Structure 1
């Protein structure tokens, strides 16, 4: 299993989208220590969107608070299959905002994983491993487009935003 994870990490193309250069450096150092070899960086949301289009990364690590285009708006654009070319790219939200409402909003926007700053190497490794080695299928329901909620029960899945919000609150 460890060799499988190491192989996924070594071949993964990771995009860091954060306006803080220091935070990008910290996360880059953590990723390199995990064996990730292909890391790109964007200093703002618009650059990140362009890099997704041009580089097709395997995972995006995204900050919430950025000037201009914040993480929430970024996610709305990415998770628009009718207008964005790569809406299925896994996204790990890495933010200093851990309020329950923020976490729920992030999941409702289609974020695959949520991490709070300051992040530990173990937490980042676990979330990265989850999206690379055990990806959840993408679903579309009402205005929601994103990974299948973890506690999704097919009997209660409905074509509505309320169902998604209810399932998110269960997580």
Structure 2
């Protein structure tokens, strides 16, 4: 499976300059050319409002404005990029965090240390299989995944991992 990420504006938000460099290098390896970085949620919010990205990769734990708080601000129906795909990247992978990220409206959860394959697969899923957005009193974000969605992807030849995420096709 190949996706063309060259035309995308991708925002990488992490308080670790080292981690931003790693993720940005992976993105360049996938063909991305328009990568923007921010060192915390507050810095990201300013940059997002000036130039809304097509995809956001954000760390959970950061000073000033953390990833969860940033996602809450982004996932407001009238925000400039409320519908942008968001991948939450974190070293804190407790089940409670995974569930909390879903309730925030994150498209994907990705644990550190991140592999290029895992990042690419999450990005590909956001691009190839966008989920419609739903809005309730308590939630605004991508529609929760369904069991039927995973079965359909398997039927059309997209292999899934144990979390229902598309795997890179062999061959």
TM beyond 0.5: yes
Q: Distance in 2 between matches of 1:148 and 1:41?
A: 28
1:52 matched to 2:48: yes
Q: Structure 2 matches for 1:1-171, cutoff 5 A?
A: 2=2, 5=3, 7=4, 9-82=5-78, 84-151=79-146
Q: How far did residue 12 of structure 1 move? A: 1.1
Q: Distance in 1 between matches of 2:127 and 2:7?
A: 10
Secondary structure of the structure 1 residue equivalent to 2:6 = helix
Q: How far did residue 66 of structure 1 move? A: 0.2
Q: Distance in 1 between matches of 2:15 and 2:58?
A: 10
Q: Give deviations 1:107-129, integer Å, cap 9, x for gaps.
A: 00000000000011000000011
Size of the aligned set, in residue pairs, is: 149
Q: Distance in 1 between matches of 2:146 and 2:136?
A: 15
- When the two chains are superposed, the root-mean-square deviation of aligned CA atoms in Å is 1.5
Q: How far did residue 88 of structure 1 move? A: 0.9
**Runs of 5+ consecutive residues of structure 2 not aligned to the other structure:** 149-163, 165-171
Is the Cα contact below 8 Å between 2:52 and 2:80 reproduced in 1?
A: no
Q: How far did residue 152 of structure 1 move? A: 7.7
Secondary structure of the structure 1 residue equivalent to 2:11 = strand
**Runs of 5+ consecutive residues of structure 1 not aligned to the other structure:** 154-170
Q: Distance in 2 between matches of 1:122 and 1:71?
A: 22
Pick the structure with more helix per residue: 1
